Amino acid sequence: MKRTVLFDVGRLLDRTARDAPTGVDRVCLAYADWLASRRNVTLVPVLTVRNRLRTIDPGGFGRTIRTLRKRWAGDDSPTRSEHDLVQALGSGGNGVSIIGHEALPQGLAARRAHAVSQALASRPLTPPTPGQTYISVGHTSLNSPATLAGLARNGVSSLIMVHDLIPITHPEYCRPGDDVRHWTRVRTALAHASRIVVNSRYTADQLAAFAVREQLPQPPTQAIPLGLEPAFLPCTTAPADPPYFVHIGTIEARKNLAFLLTLWRRLQEGMGDACPRLVLIGRYGWENEAVLDHLQRSPNLQGLVHQVSGLPDAALVRLMHKARAVVAPSSVEGFDLPAVEAMAMGVPLIASDIPVHRELVAAAQLIDPLDGPGWLAALEAATRKRPIAPPYAAPTWAAHFDAVATFIGLDS
């Protein structure tokens, strides 16, 4: 018998204009594909408007997710940003860095108009009935308890994904007010969700500790690692010369990038012309002023450190395969998808020694995120000779969704 699943698509509609996804965006898209593919599921795409669920046209939403998947995956044709970056990395060093070289996406206005039109064309959801399931994996609909509480009153079960508790545990790395907003979201999930899925044991431990502090019961919770897109597969591509390293992720304070750029200046001072390049791939986030100061004003980093955003997966894969290593010096993470992707591809990974890295990528070279001499030694050694990446059994979306289906009773 088919189960009706109300899938919250609010975050995906909000991301319609983007050329590349964040980690949470990837999860939302993977869940949309999974639910749409299941024969025992009737997928009803919904979004939350003023604490009320509204439904959008399934056909239109299906076209949206197909468009996003194609755009975010990319192809064999390099984008303008990738082409310019590869040229800069292969040059002998002209003292000019690529910083934020990303034109506005083509057709941006049309993309935004399409997303708005889908939202405006939404209509009130027919009152849900017992036996239906509501799924939200993008932290949407959690800013108020009204939505989940109303679903529970109507006998609708719910599955909520909590990606991390970083705004609560480390508010110094987040936008002012994010701690209060996320506190509300997590309390809402604990108080009203039927089940909660998290991406790591570390996040599960943080959630359990929060529930104790807030004196809230915790619904059944399961830690299920996220899967990877098919593009991130092992390859024996030789590293590029001149050598370079790659960091992937939003440029924000918790990524510890000001520390990384300080290291790069020290590398340049010690290695001179032999100093490797560094590529920061990601959008600008919160508290990035120190990083921008390094990028724009440090004479030692000009021509050595580059920053781009909006690259599709195909471009990421090409750049990662030829890097000496992927670097992930974060102070805190809930999962760290790029680190897992690097290990799955057989690209050496140098990462911070934090709980989630010890859990998910323990075989990588892990260094305390404040150990400057340790990081310098590792980077210089990897520049002179690329490390051998250890064997790694990568988590898969198939295994993730098998576990989720069992958890919520969709496996029959």
Please write the tens of the pLDDT for every residue from 207-257. Answer: 999 999 999 999 999 999 999 999 998 988 889 999 999 999 999 999 999
Query: pLDDT value at position 104?
Result: 47
Domains and CATH numbers, the chain: 3-56+122-227+397-408 (3.40.50), 75-104+230-384 (3.40.50.2000)
Q: Quick one: pLDDT band at residue 100, thresholds 50, 70, 90?
A: confident
CA dist 384 → 21, 26, 290 (Å): 33, 35, 29
Task: Work out the burial of residue 127: count CB atoms within 10 Å of its CB; fewer than 13 is exposed, 13-18 middle, 19 or more buried.
Answer: exposed
Q: Would the pLDDT of 102 be above 50?
A: no
DSSP secondary structure code for residue 99 in this structure: B
Kindly report, residue by residue over 297-321, the tens digit of the pLDDT: 899 999 999 999 999 999 999 999 9
Q: Given a cut of 60, is residue 132 above it in pLDDT?
A: yes
Provide CB contacts within 8 A for 274, sequence distance 6+: 383
Residue 103 is predicted with a pLDDT of: 47
- Interval 157-182: pLDDT, tens: 999 999 999 999 999 999 999 999 99
Q: What percent of the chain has pLDDT over 90?
A: 76
User: Is residue 267 predicted with pLDDT exceeding 70?
Assistant: yes
92: confidence class by pLDDT, cuts 50, 70, 90: low
Comparing CA positions, the residue from 367, 130, 412, 175 lying closest to residue 286 is: 175
Q: Beta strands 195-198 and 52-55: pairing type? A: unpaired
| Contacts by 351-359, CB closer than 8 A, 24 or more apart | 351/327, 352/256, 352/328, 354/330, 355/202, 356/200, 356/202, 356/203, 356/332, 357/328, 357/333, 359/200, 359/201, 359/202
Contact (CB, 8 A) for 263 and 291:
no
Looking at residue 140, its pLDDT comes to 87
List CB contacts of 320: < 8 A, sequence separation 6 or more: 246, 248, 326, 341, 342, 345, 347
Mean pLDDT of 69-96: 87
Q: Is the pLDDT of residue 105 over 90?
A: no
Q: How far apart are CA 83 and CA 41, in angstroms?
A: 43
Residue type, 315: A
Tens-digit pLDDT profile for residues 364-379: 999 999 999 999 999 9
Instruction: Please report where in the chains the tokens 């998947």 appear, as a residue.
Output: 69
Q: Do 47 and 14 meet the contact criterion of CB atoms below 8 Å apart?
A: no
Whether residue 49 is predicted with pLDDT greater than 90 in this model: the reply is no
Buried b (16+ CB within 10 A) or exposed e, 143-173: eebebbebbbeeebbbbbbbbbbbbbeebeb
**Helix, coil or strand: residue 164:** coil
Q: Which of 30, 39, 29 is nearest to 5 (CA)?
A: 39
Whole-number pLDDT of residue 121: 56
Computed over every residue of the chain, the mean pLDDT equals 91
Task: Please report the pLDDT score of residue 294 as a whole number.
Answer: 86
